[in-house]
Chain A
C-alpha cells in the first residue's frame, strides 16, 4: 500500500519520466559523522551516529528518507544533562550516471531533530522537548554492486535552527536494493 502511494506521488511529480519498471528501493544502515563547532566556536566537535535509511529511485531522481537516534549524558559536579535526539530527514537526489557503475549525485533536503532534554541537579529535575529544523545540500558517490548491494558515501553542509554555524556531515551507507 505504501509503495502504491509513493509511486502515485512520484508519478505526479515526474509525469514525463515515469517508468514504473525502473523504480528501485533501497534499505540499509548508515553511519553519519558530524563536524560541528564546539561551545568554544574556535574548536570543532566530531560525533558519529548510526542511521536507518530507505530510498526510492527512478533514475536520475531519488528520494532518501533517513532516521537517526542518538543520546548522551554530560555533567559537571552534581549537575547533569541527558539528551536524546531523533532525527528525520528527506533528501532529494539527482544522479548523473546509472548506479550500476560508480555514480556521483547531488542532493538537497530538509528535516527535523526532535530533542528530549532532561536536566538534573539534586532533587530538581526538568524535562523538555524541543525541535530543531534543518536543511542542507550535499553530494556523493554510490554504486550498486551486483545490482543488489548498495554502497555510497555523501558529504553535506547542513543549516540547523538554533545553531550559529552550519554542520558538515560525512555519511557512509550500505544497503540492499530490491
Chain B
C-alpha cells in the first residue's frame, strides 16, 4: 500500500510538474500594460501579443533586460518577465517585468504599423531592444535617455529616474529611436564612403559608446565641410524621427510625458521658422565658445523646425498623416544620391532635404501647404523646387 501510494504520488507529481513546465504560458497571450487610450492618455489595458510574454521574442522584436551588448546585438537570453495569471491575463509582477513586456508589445505594434505603411522591408526584423541597459557616460551611470546604436543596430533604453513616464513605456520616444534605424539604413549607409565620419559624429550624440577614431578623425574635423554636414544630417535624422514618433502615436509632443523640460522645445505644435543655411551653420561654429555643443544643439533645433513643417503638412494631407509619412519614408533612399555631390564641396542648407522628401508631392501641394513651405525655405528654393506654389495665391 505504502509503495503503491508512493508510486502513484510520484507519478502524479511528475505529470503535474511536466504539465506545469509545458504550460508556462497559462496566462495566454494578453498582457496588462500601461498603454495610451484613444485620447492618448496612458491607462492600464489588456494588450494582445503575438506570443506569450514569458520569453520576449517574436518575429517583430527581441527584448533584453540589463544586458551587455556586442557586435551581434545583445548578449545572453531574451527577457523572461515575472507574471501572474489573472483570469487569462498576464500581469507583470514588478516594474522591471512591466517595462520589458511593454517594450516588446510596442515593437510588435511598430512592426504592424510598418507593414501597413509598406516600409517594413527597409529594416531587418526582429528588432533588438535593450531595457534598463546600464552604461557609463561622462557623468557616471547614464539615466533618462534612449539610444539607437547604429554600429550594433540595437536600441538601448537606460534606467529612468525622473518622476514621469519611463522611457521604456513612452511609445513616441521608442518610435523615435526606431526611426533612426531607417535613416541609418536608407540614408547613412548609402553614403558609404562617409561612414567613418558619421560614426565619429554619432560619438558626440551617443557619448556612451566611444568608438576608436580612425587616424583622420580628430577634433579638427569639426571645421571641415564634411564635419559640418554631418551635423546637418543629424538634424534631419532627429527631425524625421520626431515626425515618425508623432505620426505613429498621434501625439505631436512625444517628449512631454517623460521629459517635460524638453516638451516645449521639441513640440511639433510650436512655431515654424526658416531653416538654417550652410552659412548659418558656419556661423554657429565660428561664433561659439563650445562649438561641439553648439552644433549639437543646432542639429536638434533645426530638426524640430523641419519636423514641425512636415507635421503640419501631414495634418493637412488629403489622405491622412500615415499616408504622408509613408510617402516620405519611401523617398529616404533618394537622399544620399541627391546630396552626395554637395556633401564634400560645401556646407548644406537644412532646406535641401525638403524637395527630396516632397519630390513626388510638389504637384499636389495646395495653398495651405505652399504657405507653410514658404515660411521655412528660401526664395531661391521656392523658385527652383516649388515654383508651382508661386502661381498660387496664399
Contact = CB atoms under 8 A, between A and B. Distances in A.
B85 A39 contact: no
Contacts of A23: none
Given A108-B10, A162-B90, A14 B82 contact: no
B160 interface: yes
Given A17-B2, A78-B165, A108-B10, A121 B86 contact: no
B159 interface: yes
A134 B66 contact: no
Contact of A76 (B55, B67, B166): B166
Interface stretch (A25-33, A95-103, A123-131, A146-154): A123-131
B16 interface: yes
Contacts of A77: 160-166, 258
Contact of A135 (B13, B41, B75, B161): B13
Contacts, number: 161
A94 interface: yes
B165 A121 contact: yes
Given A39-B81, A40-B64, A76 B42 contact: no
Interface string A136-163: 1100000000000000000000011111
A65 interface: no
Interface of A is mostly: strand
A74 B6 contact: no
A134 to B, nearest CB: 7
B43 interface: yes
* Interface size grouping (class) on chain B: 35 or more
Interface string B25-46: 1110000101000000111100
B348 interface: no
Contacts of B32: 119, 126, 128
Nearest to B74: A40
Contacts of B86: 117, 128-130
Given A40-B65, A40-B77, A119-B34, A83 B165 contact: no
A66 interface: no
B28 to A, nearest CB: 10
Contacts of B78: 41
Contact of A78 (B16, B84, B163): B163
Given A13-B5, A40-B65, A135-B20, A81 B94 contact: yes
B72 to A, nearest CB: 16
Interface residues of A, number: 53
Nearest to B5: A13
Interface string A157-171: 001111111100000
Interface in B138-164: 159-164
Contact of A119 (B44, B83, B165): B44
B95 A80 contact: yes
B44 A124 contact: yes
A41 B80 contact: yes
A52 interface: no
Interface string B187-219: 000000000000000000000000000000000
A124 B44 CA distance: 7
Nearest to A134: B20
B1 A41 contact: no
B31 to A, nearest CB: 11
Interface of B: 1-2, 5-6, 9-10, 13, 16-17, 20-21, 23-27, 32, 34, 41-44, 54-55, 64-67, 75-86, 89-100, 159-166, 168-169, 258
6 contacts: A78-B165, A122-B42, A135-B20, A137-B13, A162-B27, A162-B90
